[in-house]
Each structure stands twice: as C-alpha cells, then as structure tokens.
C-alpha cells in the first residue's frame, strides 16, 4: 500500500542508518582511543577487571621503586662491610708481620692505628638516605619491601624483609644521639683471647708472641663475624634482585593481560570501519529511494 502519511520504507531505512551510525561511533571511538573497552558501558566485566589490574600494576610499580631503594640500602651496607673486611685483613697481616723477630712493633702499630681509624670512617660513612646498617642503635629493626600480593579473597598486602641490627652484624653501635660507641659492635667489643677490641688494641716492642697470638685470634674471630654478616647482606641483595626481576615480569604480564581484554584490534577495527562506511552509503541511498516514493504518488494525480 502506498501512503503519504506513513512511509514504512523510509522508516526502515532511517532505522538502519541510525544503527549504522551508532556502530560507526563505537568503531571510531575504538580507533581513536585504541581501546575496545574504554568505559563500563562497553563491557562491565572486562572494564572492572582491567581497572582492578591497572590499580595493582601501579602498586607493583611502586613496589619496584621501593625495591630499588631497599637494594641501595643493602648494597651500601654490603660495600661498607666488604671495605671493612679488607681493612681488617690488612690489620691481620700487620699482626703476622709483628711476630717476626727484631721487627719494630711500634712502627707497625702506627700503621695499625691508621687502619683502625679507617674502620671507624667506614662505619660512619656507610649510610644511605640517613640509614646506617653498620652503625646504629642496638636492636634497631630495618626493613626492605620485597613484594605486593593480592590474595584470593581480594585482600592486598605488602611483603617486607626485616633485619635486626646488633653486635653480630654491626661494626659499631651508636648512642641515642647517633654518636658511635667505639666499645660495641663486632669491632668495638673486646675479644675473648686478648680482652682487647680490633678497633682499640695496641702493640709495642714489649708485646710478646703470646699476646700477639691472642690478638690474631680475636681479629680472626671478628673477620668470621664480618664475613657472616656480609653473606647475609649478600643473600638479601640477591633476593631483592630476584624480586625486582619478578615484579617487572609480573607487571609486563598484567599489562599484556589487560591489553587482551580492552585493547582494540586495529586491523579488525579498520576493516569494520570500511564496511560500515559502505553500509552507510547504501543506507543513505535506500533512504533517498524511500523518500522519493511520495513524489511518485504525486505523479499519479497529474
């Protein structure tokens, strides 16, 4: 039936044109943003997942930065401990040389004194951002962040490793005001054999072989303790390095996973856009033909 009040063909063509325009808007948005899911209305489930995972990825990035700071603190302490070990080895060598008959022990003591002062300098200098792991108050707990975890119940937590500083892993202790107490720590505590500390012992030409042997024993004990402390620092440093690598890989994996959910396939979108443009042109042509029906009816009355 031909009607001048209701043009069904035009209405159908217009509906199709609107539908194509809506699809084109969605496709053009995907092309311009590079995302097939840019808002919750596009796909509520994927949008929710991607938003949560992006948040976790930001937290992982912060953890990676914190790991870098922690690594710097541990590496500073390790460098200081390694340097102190080298100095104590020099002191050990001087004590061995002092046992040579006829040697001037007081001259050797002058060299040892300089080395002992170097030990104090190392302990004072081994600080990063104001935190010193080689000279601090006894019982101080220092920690480094090692990870960010989201549990199965969606609760989140930050993992860390804590180290308690005491006479077994510090060169010296400090008082509450930060002043180094030279009679504490691995180097300041008196040895059991000589009853003198590595930092404060002295020898002279009257020091006999027995006393030198006792000093050598205590220096060797201090070296053992320092080596053990350095090994612990090394293991923490290794763990931080492993965690840093893992955090970076995990961050990349999350980013890729989120991308699979919300990123647009540009090849697919460009093909869809071409198809929609063709459909739009055909729909406009169909609407034009439908609108011409009224003119055809008019011709019947001429």
Which structure tokens are listed for 130?
């104001």
Q: What is the model's pLDDT at position 166?
A: 92
- Spatial distance between the Cα atoms of 240 and 233, rounded to a whole number of angstroms: 11
Which structure tokens are listed for 163?
């180290």
- Spatial distance between the Cα atoms of 30 and 243, rounded to a whole number of angstroms: 36
Which structure tokens are listed for 49?
């997942």
Handedness of CA 130, 133, 134, 140 (dihedral sign): positive
Q: What is the model's pLDDT at position 159?
A: 82
What is the full per-residue pLDDT of the chain (302 aa) written as tens digits? Answer: 566 666 777 788 788 888 888 877 777 777 777 777 877 877 888 888 888 888 888 888 888 888 889 999 999 999 999 999 999 999 999 999 999 888 999 999 999 999 999 999 999 999 998 899 999 999 999 988 877 787 777 777 888 889 999 999 999 999 988 899 999 999 999 999 999 999 999 999 999 999 999 999 999 999 999 999 999 999 999 988 888 888 888 888 888 888 888 777 788 778 888 888 888 888 888 878 777 776 776 776 66
The torsion of the CA quartet 77, 79, 82, 83, rounded to 10 degrees, works out to: -110
- Spatial distance between the Cα atoms of 202 and 31, rounded to a whole number of angstroms: 79
Helix (H, G, I), strand (E, B) or coil at 124: helix
The answer to whether the beta carbons of residues 264 and 27 sit under 8 Å apart is no
Whether this model's pTM surpasses 0.85: no
Rounded to 5 degrees, φ, ψ at 265 are -85, 105
- Spatial distance between the Cα atoms of 277 and 258, rounded to a whole number of angstroms: 30
Which structure tokens are listed for 282?
């055909």
Among 112, 111, 132, CA closest to 123: 132
The answer to whether the beta carbons of residues 122 and 171 sit under 8 Å apart is yes
Task: Show the CA angle centred on residue 198, arms to residues 194 and 200, nearest 5°.
Answer: 90
- Spatial distance between the Cα atoms of 229 and 220, rounded to a whole number of angstroms: 14
Helix (H, G, I), strand (E, B) or coil at 302: coil
Which structure tokens are listed for 273?
């856009």
| 135-136: strand order across its sheet | 135-136, 172-174, 180-181
Q: What is the model's pLDDT at position 146?
A: 77
* Those residues with Cβ within 8 angstroms of residue 32's Cβ, 6 or more apart along the chain or in another chain: none
The answer to whether the beta carbons of residues 244 and 68 sit under 8 Å apart is yes
């Amino acid at each position: 039936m031909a009607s001048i009040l209701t043009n069904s063909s035009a209405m159908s063509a217009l509906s199709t044109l609107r539908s194509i325009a809506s699809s084109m808007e969605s496709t053009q948005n995907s092309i311009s943003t590079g995302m097939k899911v840019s808002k919750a209305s596009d796909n509520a489930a994927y949008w929710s997942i991607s938003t949560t995972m992006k948040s976790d990825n930001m937290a992982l990035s912060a953890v990676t930065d914190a790991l870098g700071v922690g690594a710097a603190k541990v590496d500073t302490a390790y460098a200081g401990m390694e340097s102190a070990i080298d100095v104590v080895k020099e002191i050990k060598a001087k004590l061995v040389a002092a046992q040579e008959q006829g040697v001037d022990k007081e001259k050797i003591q002058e060299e040892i004194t300089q080395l002992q002062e170097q030990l104090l300098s190392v302990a004072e200098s081994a600080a990063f951002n104001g935190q010193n792991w080689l000279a601090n108050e006894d019982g101080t707990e220092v920690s480094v962040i090692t990870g960010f975890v989201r549990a199965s119940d969606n609760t989140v937590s930050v993992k860390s490793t804590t180290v308690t500083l005491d006479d077994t892993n510090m060169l010296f202790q400090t008082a509450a005001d930060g002043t180094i107490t030279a009679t504490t720590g691995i180097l300041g505590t008196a040895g059991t054999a000589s009853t003198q500390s590595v930092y404060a012992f002295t020898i002279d030409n009257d020091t006999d072989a027995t006393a030198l042997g006792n000093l050598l024993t205590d220096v060797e004990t201090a070296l053992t303790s320092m080596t053990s402390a350095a090994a612990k620092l090394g293991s923490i440093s290794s763990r931080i390095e492993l965690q840093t690598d893992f955090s970076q890989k995990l961050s990349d994996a999350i980013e890729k996973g989120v991308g699979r959910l919300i990123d647009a396939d540009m090849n697919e979108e460009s093909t869809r856009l071409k198809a929609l443009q063709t459909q739009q042109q055909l729909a406009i042509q169909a609407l034009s033909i439908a609108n011409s029906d009224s003119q055809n009816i008019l011709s019947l009355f001429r």
